Amino acid sequence: MVESGRFDPLPLITHRFALDDIVEAYDLFSNRRQGVLKAAVCP
């Protein structure tokens, strides 16, 4: 669905983190703080 363009997952990513901040990303997501839906970790 993503490949065909019928579904855009980008609005679900509510937070983005650098790879160096992965501990903070996991903490935020595991505790469901700040309205997080999905956290993306970018290298």
- Model confidence over 1-43: pLDDT tens digits? 999 999 999 999 999 999 999 999 999 999 989 989 999 999 8
Does 3 map to a domain? no
Cα 21 from Cα 8, distance rounded (Å): 25
**Helix, strand, or coil here: 11?**
helix
The secondary structure element, H or E, covering residue 41 is: strand 38-42
Residues 6+ apart with CB under 8 A from 7: 1
Q: Look at the chain and report how many structural domains it folds into.
A: 1
pLDDT of residue 32: 87
pLDDT of residue 43: 84
For residue 15, what are the domain limits? 10-42
pLDDT of residue 20: 96
Does 2 map to a domain? no
Does 15 map to a domain? yes
Does 26 map to a domain? yes
Does 4 map to a domain? no
Does 35 map to a domain? yes
Cα 37 from Cα 14, distance rounded (Å): 6
pLDDT of residue 1: 94
Question: Is the distance from CB of 9 to CB of 32 less than 8 angstroms?
Answer: no
